[in-house]
């Protein structure tokens, strides 16, 4: 494949590998502090309840700059619009959850410019209208607030009703909410969507360095009570590795984008972020297109187009995966379709590596 303005190769990684590793470490330790330190008084983004593209545009900000997106994300969306060329391989049908802002919207915009068929997901009708204005080429919008598990179940039905996908990217994520809301949006909802939506050929789950501080929290999952953001991102990675084990004929990975300048990255009043915004969504593009060496990997935790070595040992612990899925089934009443595996499949499980 010929090089495009934003190359899918590891060029950027090779040039800046050491710096990125240091940044990832800094991201992890600093961001862990975000969870425990009181929020700063100011931040660059208005409250989510005010989000509306009309509001943003009325204030002179295309792509919701200063409202639901940061200036950096808005500038990157404009850059994609001007610079990205069509893909010369076969077009894919791709769904991205949480694609009205941030990394999800950037992934959607990039794949759209590459002439893939892209369906986006919005939390409500207002945000659906915003993204239709921002990305006029999208094929469709599905709606549902992942904080509400009934809406998540209805969303699964909507998705199934509009036909099969080649790739689904579970990108949506909340930060800084009360505990049970995080359980619903970041853990139970991606599980429900995985279990209830017709499985595509490829699944990608957005996780975070902060999964390193996460724990299983099985009692909390069973009882529907609080978990932290780190717990939820551990769960997201484990849904990916468990699903990859249950569905060996599909390609399924977890991806950490790095600490990037989206609205979430600027949470708690942060005014700078250490990692590249473009690298934060290009792994998803690289996997979805799947034409470059290494992009056929499965069952892994990836950071910037590479298998990440610093991974919570629970991510690849098959007993822990089974316990989490059993807790999910108890809480939601929905069993993962492949949970009743034959014994010979269980014998092929991967053992914990660290």
Ligand X SMILES: NC(=O)c1ccc[n+]([C@@H]2O[C@H](COP(=O)([O-])OP(=O)(O)OC[C@H]3O[C@@H](n4cnc5c(N)ncnc54)[C@H](OP(=O)(O)O)[C@@H]3O)[C@@H](O)[C@H]2O)c1
Which residues form the catalytic set? 229, 233
Contact between 262 and ligand X by CB under 6 A: the answer reads yes
The number of angstroms, rounded, from the C-alpha of 39 to the middle of its chain's C-alpha atoms is 24
- 147 part of the interface to ligand X, by CB under 6 A: yes
Of 150 and 351, the one with the shorter C-beta distance to ligand X is 150
Q: Among the candidate windows 94-102, 216-224, 241-249, 345-353, which touches ligand X by CB under 6 A?
A: 94-102
- Distances from the Cα of 261 to the Cα of 95, 124, 337, angstroms: 23, 24, 37
Could you give the string, one character per residue 313-342, with x where binding to ligand X holds by CB under 6 A and - elsewhere? ------------------------------
Closest residue to ligand X in the complex (CB): 102
Q: Is 348 exposed, middle or buried, given 0-12, 13-18 or 19+ CB atoms closer than 10 A?
A: exposed
- Does 187 help bind ligand X (rule: CB under 6 A)? no
134 binds ligand X (CB under 6 A): no
Residue 103 touches ligand X, criterion: CB under 6 A: yes
Q: Which of residues 42-71 bind ligand X (CB under 6 A)?
A: 48, 51, 68
Distance CA 47, CA 67 (A): 8
Question: Helix H segments across 87-213?
Answer: 102-113, 125-134, 149-161, 179-182, 189-196
First to last CA, the chain: 36
Position 346 contacts ligand X (CB under 6 A): no
Identify which of residues 9 and 268 has a Cβ nearer to ligand X in the complex. Answer: 268
The site that binds ligand X (CB under 6 A) totals a number of residues, namely 30
Distance of CA 243 to the CA centre of its chain: 15
Q: Is 301 in the site for ligand X (CB under 6 A)?
A: no
Options 33-41, 111-119, 263-271, 346-354: segment touching ligand X (CB under 6 A): 263-271
Q: Rounded to whole angstroms, how far apart are CA atoms 208 and 27?
A: 10
Helix or strand (DSSP H, E) at 168: strand 167-170
Instruction: Answer yes or no whether residue 108 interacts with ligand X by CB under 6 A.
Output: no
Among 56, 84, 118, 172, binds ligand X (CB under 6 A): 172
> Whose CA is closest to 228, among 213, 208, 209?
213
* Of the residues 34, 56, 63, 174, which one makes contact with ligand X according to CB under 6 A: 174
Q: Which stretch binds ligand X (CB under 6 A): 17-25, 32-40, 216-224, 261-269?
A: 261-269
Angle, CA of 130, 267 and 17, to the nearest 5°? 100
Q: Characterize 1-36 residue by residue with b for buried, 16 or more Cβ atoms within 10 angstroms of its Cβ, and e for exposed.
A: eeebebebebebbeebeeebeebbeebbebbbebee
Residue from 6, 100, 117, 312 binding ligand X (CB under 6 A) = 100
What are the counts of helices (DSSP H) followed by strands (DSSP E) for the chain?
A: 13, 8
211 binds ligand X (CB under 6 A): no
Tell me which of 265, 287, 311, 314 binds ligand X, using CB under 6 A. 265
Q: Kindly tell me which of 129 and 326 has the beta carbon lying closer to ligand X.
A: 129
Residue 257 sits in the site that holds ligand X (CB under 6 A):
yes
User: Which of 56, 101, 156, 242 forms a contact with ligand X (CB under 6 A)?
Assistant: 101
- For residue 16, how many C-alpha atoms fall within 13 Å in the half-sphere facing its CB? 13
**Which chain residues interact with ligand X by CB under 6 A?**
48, 51, 68, 98-104, 123, 127, 145-147, 171-174, 185, 206, 208, 256-257, 259-260, 262-265
């Amino acid at each position: 494949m010929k090089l495009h303005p934003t190359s899918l190769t590891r060029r950027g990684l090779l040039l800046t590998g050491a710096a990125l590793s240091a940044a990832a470490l800094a991201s992890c330790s600093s961001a862990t502090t975000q969870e425990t330190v009181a929020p700063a008084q100011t931040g660059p983004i208005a409250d989510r309840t005010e989000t509306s593209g009309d509001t943003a545009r009325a204030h002179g900000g295309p792509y919701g700059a200063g409202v639901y997106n940061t200036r950096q994300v808005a500038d990157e969306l404009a850059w994609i619009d001007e610079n990205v060329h069509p893909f010369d391989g076969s077009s894919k049908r791709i769904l991205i959850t949480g694609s009205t802002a941030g990394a999800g919207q950037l992934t959607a915009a990039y794949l759209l410019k590459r002439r893939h068929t892209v369906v986006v997901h919005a939390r409500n009708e207002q945000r659906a209208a915003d993204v239709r204005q921002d990305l006029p080429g999208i094929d469709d919008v599905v709606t549902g607030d992942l904080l509400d598990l009934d809406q998540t179940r209805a969303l699964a039905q909507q998705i199934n009703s509009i036909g099969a996908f080649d790739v689904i990217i579970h990108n949506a994520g909340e930060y800084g909410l009360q505990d049970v809301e995080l359980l619903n949006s970041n853990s139970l909802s991606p599980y429900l969507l995985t279990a209830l939506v017709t499985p595509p050929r490829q699944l990608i789950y957005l996780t975070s360095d902060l999964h390193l501080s996460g724990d299983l929290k099985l009692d909390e999952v069973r009882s529907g009570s609080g978990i932290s953001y780190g717990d939820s991102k551990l769960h997201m990675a484990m849904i990916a590795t468990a699903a990859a084990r249950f569905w060996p004929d599909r390609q399924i990975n977890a991806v950490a984008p790095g600490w990037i300048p989206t609205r979430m990255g600027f949470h708690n009043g942060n005014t700078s972020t250490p990692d590249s915004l473009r690298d934060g969504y290009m792994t998803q593009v690289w996997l979805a297109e799947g034409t470059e060496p290494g992009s056929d990997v499965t069952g892994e935790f990836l950071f910037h187009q590479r298998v990440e070595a610093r991974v919570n040992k629970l991510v690849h612990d098959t007993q822990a995966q089974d316990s989490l899925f059993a807790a999910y089934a108890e809480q939601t009443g929905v069993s993962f379709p492949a949970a009743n595996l034959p014994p010979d499949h269980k014998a092929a499980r991967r053992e914990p590596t660290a």
